């Protein structure tokens, strides 16, 4: 397995850990309708933190586990910067992790 895949897997665990540390991890899943949203980041049906937990992390884990091609780009930090504009201190570590994730996903030059 290429080192980049292991780095991405480690980062997914770090993102999950930070969501838990901040109290942004839910025990109950959103409704099936919310999870079926086709709007980017499911902004019409859940919070960004819920999207990370219930859509982003599971999809990325499936991609890694099944050896599917990685996305060519990730603009997740841009969304995080927008969502957490009013919580810069509380979201600092999560935004740092998401920035590193974006860098890991970007194809090497």
Instruction: Report d(CA 8, CA 103) in Å as an integer.
Output: 10
Structure tokens at 77: 């930090």
Across 70-92, average pLDDT: 93
- Residue-wise pLDDT for 48-72, tens only, equals 999 999 999 999 999 999 999 988 8
Nearest of 82, 78, 42, 77 to residue 58 by alpha carbon: 42
> pTM to 2 decimals?
0.93
- Residue-wise pLDDT for 9-43, tens only, equals 999 999 999 999 999 999 999 999 999 999 999 99
Nearest of 73, 100, 72 to residue 8 by alpha carbon: 100
Question: DSSP H helical segments within the chain, as ranges?
Answer: 3-21, 32-35, 48-51, 57-66, 76-83, 92-105
The secondary structure of residue 61, as a DSSP letter, is: H
CATH of 3-26+42-105, picked from 1.20.1440.40, 3.30.70.920, 1.10.1740.10, 3.40.50.720, is 1.20.1440.40
20, 27 Cβ separation under 8 angstroms: no
């Amino acid at each position: 397995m290429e080192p980049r895949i292991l780095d991405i897997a480690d980062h997914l665990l770090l993102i999950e850990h930070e969501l838990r540390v901040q109290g942004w991890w839910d025990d109950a899943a959103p409704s099936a309708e919310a999870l079926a949203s086709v709007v980017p980041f499911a902004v019409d049906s859940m919070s960004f933190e819920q999207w990370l937990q219930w859509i982003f992390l599971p999809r990325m884990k499936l991609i890694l586990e099944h050896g599917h091609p990685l996305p060519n780009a990730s603009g997740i930090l841009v969304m995080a910067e927008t969502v957490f504009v009013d919580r810069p201190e509380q979201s600092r570590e999560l935004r740092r992790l998401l920035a590193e994730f974006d860098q890991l996903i970007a194809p090497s030059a």
